[in-house]
Amino acid sequence: MIFSTVIKALKPLRLISLVLTYVLGAGLVQYVRDMKSWSVFIQGGVFLVLISLSLELMRTLQRLGDPHNWPEGMTLDVVKQVRWIIAMLTATFLTVATAIVVTWMQTSILWPGQGFLIAALLIAGALDYLSEAVKFLKPFGLLFEVLVYVVIPPAFAYFLQSDDPHRLLTMVVIALVPSYLANRLLTLLKRFGRDQKYGVETLVTLIGWENSMFYHNALILLTYLLYALVAVLGFPWFLIWPVFLTLPIGLTQIWLMERVKRGMKPLWQVMQVAAACVLFIPVYLLGFAFWIR
């Protein structure tokens, strides 16, 4: 039970998003000016993963403080053991992450721009963590989350290897934000009934079921509109055109959501796969194009 509780603290969508967008940012470096140091690339990935895991474990630690959130059959003694293990894991992960930053400082890898990104990551992570407990932050929780798992990782990877900004970095991140938000809205829609029953406040319970479905569909359409916009603004077409191969999947996802809106049975598994494809396949295709060019 202890092991399963710790494993459930991990959120695959967030972790995969962080890793893939980080690799995407490193691929952009490889595309525009070649990688400086592979060891620094690996250290940066480990640092981000450790910070992400620490955030997820601290959320679980916070939830276990309320007996209503204890898994069925879990006793007080087991909860104390789980909380102690989670606290030790979190302290270990943060210690290793700090050691990596200290190493960068000693070897002059850390420069002011990268220091700013680390500060932004920690602040966004703290706000993301607090958004579950602080009422006025709840509506902004997804925005803090998207900063931690989608916006900062590619920039972090890029500026670990280069101190020269590049316009493609901004362009490549823009379209990832709405597709990630659409994925998270779908997850919250799936558990809407349970959250409403137990009084759990989420973005979906705050803005309503139908509004959330509308925003989900709008975000998927916005994803492809932004990909088209960055192509018009100068993103190399030979790099970005494969992304539009996933457009039929995005349209299918919208159709599936419209079925739910009309009162038909939700096909949650199919919808989750489709939404994940809209997010992850373009990231993979862009990253692959960067790495092989």
Note the pLDDT of residue 163. Answer: 81
Picking from 128, 147, 165, the residue at the C-terminal end of a domain is 165
Of 165, 187, 217, the domain-final residue: 165
83 and 11 in a common domain: yes
Worst-scoring range by mean pLDDT, 133-142, 194-203, 279-288? 194-203
The pLDDT tens digits for 230-240 are 999 888 998 89
Whole-prediction pTM? 0.91
Instruction: Return the pLDDT at 156.
Output: 94
Question: Do 258 and 280 have their domain in common?
Answer: yes
Helix (H) or strand (E) holding 8: helix 2-8
Domain identity same for 81 and 204:
no
Grade residue 73 by pLDDT with cuts at 50, 70 and 90.
Answer: low
Rounded to whole angstroms, the Cα distance separating 169 from 166 reads: 6
281: three-class secondary structure by DSSP: helix
Domain assignment present for residue 75? The answer is yes
Residues 130 and 71 in one domain: yes
In the predicted model, what is the mean pLDDT of residues 195-206?
79
Instruction: Tell which of 165, 192, 226 closes a domain.
Output: 165
Q: pLDDT value at position 137? A: 82
Q: Report yes or no: 87 and 7 within 8 Å, Cβ to Cβ.
A: no
Task: Assess whether 187 and 158 both reside in one domain.
Answer: no
Domain hosting 113: range is 1-165
Domain assignment of residue 170, yes or no: no
Q: Residue 66 gets which letter from DSSP?
A: S
Task: Give yes or no: residues 146 and 196 share one domain.
Answer: no
Q: Which amino acid is at 177?
A: V
C-beta separation of 224 from 244 below 8 A: yes
Three-state SS for 198? coil
Structure-token pair, residue 138: 């709840």
**Which pair of structure tokens corresponds to residue 224?**
């492809």
